[in-house]
Structure formats: structure tokens, C-alpha cells
Amino acid sequence: MIRIETETDIERLRQVALLQRAELDRLYTRLAQLTEELAHARGEDAIAALQLELTAIQEQLAARTRALFSPSSEKRPRPGDRTRDAAPAPRTGHGPRAQLALPQVEVVHTLDVPDRTCPKCGGGLREMTGQYEESEEIDVVERSFRLVRHQRQKYTCRCGECLDTALGPPRLIPGGRYSVDFAVAVAVAKYGDHMPLARQVRQMARLSLATDTQTLWDQLHALYRHLVPTADALHALVLASPVIAADETRWPLLATPGASKWHAWSVTSPEAISYRIRSSRSATAAREVLGDYVGIVVVDGYSAYKALRDERAQVPDGPPFTLAFCWTHARRQFVEAEPHYPQARELIDKIGELYAIEAKVGGAEPSERLAVLAGLRATESRTLVGDIKTWLLAQAVLPRSSLGEAIKYTLGHWEGLERFLDDARIPLDTNAVERGLRAVVIGRKNHYGSRSERGTRVAALFYTLIESAKLAGVEPAAYLAEATRRAIANPGTVTLPHDLAAG
């Protein structure tokens, strides 16, 4: 299966390269035509118009070339950064890190008896009580598996009317052979550490455990069945927040027609993260994920969210649904335009100042941060946002140039971009939900997606529980194990990460 997928990826990349090359050829041809027209132009207006279009074509050409041959990055040098030619500072190292969480073992090393002789006088060496020369090293205790035989003691009464048996450990699968902790380890390895099941099988074989991918999948699905109520509760917890962020990324459904159309949707609140994997990136999928959410959703400029908002607006007395847009996505447009339009740097710096204002709240007490932030936004941020809009309206550029497109995008989303000024709960960007999607993206790169629709549901559940545990500061394996044991003891039991964090 991996070989077929790899061949598909190679063919897809070849097609992309051919399309990019065709686009480059088209731009080169248009560039030659414009240059010739410019040479024969008469009149300043004609020359100015052709020059603008020529600049736009040159810009597109450079952008296509960078897309083919250059790494992409939004990072820009900051004032005071060293130049490329400056000599690098000598490396001093970071020194040993404190390992306070590791168990400590003391090993005392002594001289062999023949070595306890003084080389000067030949006398015997004696121990200096409590005197050692100490050093540290970090060692590894290899992971291992064991076969545990549970013997449940039987009891009877002399009357012969009663027979009882001691309780055993909770079983993930009735009559199953694998423990809850084993299944949790498999789940965290796949969805937390992004290790495909086939790779786990090979690793286990090196440690003398013979198993197969189907067996491991059975353990994952058994965990899934117990944890569905908890995942649903986490989704409801996110949608109960007055402000959330939403985003989506591709999640292929392997060996299925239209596999590339499947997407993993993520919604994030300060308390939790929830994922849903759907067969499209449409407004219908957005509706399924957001349900009847009432509140503010921070998103990028993707049209599905706008379509859902407009759909809600047409329903009389429908649940209020408001969009706030991401300043990071607006900034990216100007970062792409900057190589051709140096004036874009001014706008990029102004957006950077918005973030600098937000950073001022860092020293405030947690209970006072929203009030402090609201004050900063009502004064400093509002003035700066007004300056940004003035700058946008003052630019005279070709509408279809990269700077023109950036300005059009920003002004087209302006109402949602400035919404943060009136509500301190609204973040400037969707960075929180994008961080949450990193796990999905890395998992997709390692095991390519899911093999079945059932697999998409299992993946979404474990990403939801593992990433929510991280957000709450709870160790994911401990959380999954405890939530599963409670659900086995009382089916339908919901255990949130915050329940363990509070305990």
C-alpha cells in the first residue's frame, strides 16, 4: 500500500511541475509581448499602464520561480539582527539540563583489592568515609513487555450454597488478552508520536512480542468505543465557549475515490480542542462541525465559513453567528508582496506593532488581563488599526498585482479583522487552532491518512483527547488510561482532562 501511495505522490508532483513549467512559459511569452508593446508605445498614459502590467508579470514570474526553486518562509530580519557577513558568535553550549523528573540511582564504584596499594610507599589504601568524586550520566531502561497471569481466587462456604471469585483487572475487550495500558501505549504512539502501526509491530518484535497490525487496530477500536462519550463531551465543551477558532487541513481516505477531498476540521477554545474528519471542505462540512454554535468564530478567509454565516443570517431568529478574521493571514499576503513592493514592509511592521501592544498585557494578573487588554485595544490598537486602513486606501497599485491582491483581501475582510477591538476575548489570529492541527499534519505525513471511514472517526477521537490533554497540562497516556478505566467500570462515563488536572 505504501508503494502505491508513493507512486501516486510522485505522479502528482510531476503533474504539478509540468503545470508550473507551462505557467512559466506563458509568463515569459507575455513578458516579451509587453516589452515590445512598451517599446512602441506613444504617450505617457499608455507607457504608465504598460509599465504597471509589465511589473505585475515580472512579479508573477519571480513568484512562480520561487515556488519551484526556493524555500518558503514568512520570517523576516528584525532591526538589530546580524547581517549575513557578520562573524557568527562562538558556540558556548547550553550546559547540562536539570532532570528533576527522572528517577535517580546511585552507583558506588570501588577499587579492586589489588589496586588498593599506595604506589609511593607500598602501604594499603583505606576508604575516606563519605568522600566521593561525583559525576552524572543519563541512562536508558529499555521498554519491555510481560505476560501477566491473573489468578482469581475462588471462595466457597461450608454450607455449599455459595461460590464466589475475586475480581480481576478491568478488561478492554471481554476475554481479551491485552491490557488497557497496552492499548493506550499503542494509541499514544500512533496519534501522539505519529508512529504507524506497522512500525510499532516491528519495534515490538525486536522486544520479543509477536503481534500484527490488525491486533493493534483492534485495541485502538476497543478504546475508541469506550471513549466516544468523552470525545463528544469535549466537542460540546469547545462549542460552549463564546469565542472559538476553526481551521481545516487535508486528511486522505486511502484507497477511496476522491480521497484527497477529505479534510480534518478543528475547533479550538481555551479549554479544549476537537476534531472532526469529513468528506469535503464545503459549507456543509462546516455546518456539521459547528452545528448550532452561538458565538464568535475566528477563521481565515476561507469561503465556507462566510457561506455558513450568510446561511444563518437568512434564517429568522436563527442562532447568532459572527466571524472574526485572522491578522496573520492578512500579513502573509503582504509578506509575499514585499519582494516586489518594498512599501509593503511598512504595513507588515504596523501589524507587528499590533502584536507588540498585545504583549503588554503579559505582566498583568490573570484575573485582570481581559480588562487591561480591553483598555489597550480601545486606545492604542484602535489608533493603529485606523492608520493601517488609511495606508491601505492610499496605495495606488495594479489590482491584480500581489500588493493589490493583498490590499483587496485585507479590505474585503476588514469588518472581521477589526472586530477584536470591541471584544478582548477575540485573539488576533488563528494560531491556536493551527498549532492544534500540527499533530494532524505530522500524522498525515507518517501514515498518509485513514484506510476507512471508521478509521477517520478513530483518528479524530484520539487527536481530540490527546491534544486536549496537552492543552490542559495532563499527560496524555495517564488521561486516556484513567478515562478508559472509568468508562469500563461505568459505561458512558465522561472524563475531561480538567477532571484529572483538578485532582
pLDDT at 233 exceeding the cut of 60: yes
At residue 155, the 3 state secondary structure works out as: strand
pLDDT at 374 exceeding the cut of 60: yes
pLDDT at 158: 87
CA 453 to CA 255: how far, in whole Å?
Answer: 11
- Buried b / exposed e across 350-388, counting CB within 10 Å, b at 16+? bbeebeebbeebeeeeeeeeeebbbebbeebbeebbeeb
pLDDT at 129 exceeding the cut of 70: yes
pLDDT at 47: 62
Residue with cell 523576516: 76
Mean pLDDT over 134-161 rounds to: 87
| Segment 189-199, tens digit of pLDDT | 999 999 999 99
Q: Which residues contact 253 (CB under 8 A, 6 or more apart)?
A: 259, 262, 279, 449, 450, 451, 452, 453, 455, 456
pLDDT at 58: 66
Q: Where are the domains of the chain?
A: 2-55, 176-301+440-503
Where residue 3 falls among pLDDT bands split at 50, 70, 90? very low
Q: Which of 126-130, 140-144, 322-326, 450-454 has the lowest mean pLDDT?
A: 140-144
Please give the share of the chain, as a percent, with pLDDT higher than 70.
83
Q: Which of 59-63, 99-103, 120-124, 285-289 has the lowest mean pLDDT?
A: 59-63
pLDDT at 84: 46
| Segment 46-99, tens digit of pLDDT | 666 666 666 676 676 666 666 655 555 566 655 445 444 455 555 555 667 888
Where residue 215 falls among pLDDT bands split at 50, 70, 90? very high
Q: Alpha helix (H) ranges present in 377-430?
A: 382-394, 402-412, 414-417
| Segment 464-479, tens digit of pLDDT | 999 999 999 999 999 9
Q: Which of 137-146, 183-192, 285-294 has the lowest mean pLDDT?
A: 137-146
Enter the pTM of the model: 0.81
Selection from 78-87, 120-129, 400-409 with the highest mean pLDDT: 400-409
- Whether the CB-CB separation of 465 and 234 falls below 8 Å is answered with yes
Q: Which of 14-18, 225-229, 411-415 has the lowest mean pLDDT?
A: 14-18
Q: Which of 138-142, 356-360, 445-449 has the lowest mean pLDDT?
A: 138-142
pLDDT at 366 exceeding the cut of 90: no
Mean pLDDT over 152-158 rounds to: 89
pLDDT at 353 exceeding the cut of 70: yes
Where residue 137 falls among pLDDT bands split at 50, 70, 90? confident
How does the average pLDDT of the chain come out, rounded?
Answer: 86
Sheet holding 295-299, edge to edge: 273-278, 263-268, 243-250, 295-299, 321-325
| Segment 248-271, tens digit of pLDDT | 999 999 877 767 789 999 999 999
CA 7 to CA 273: how far, in whole Å?
Answer: 34
| Segment 20-30, tens digit of pLDDT | 777 777 776 77
Where residue 361 falls among pLDDT bands split at 50, 70, 90? very high
CA 410 to CA 347: how far, in whole Å?
Answer: 11
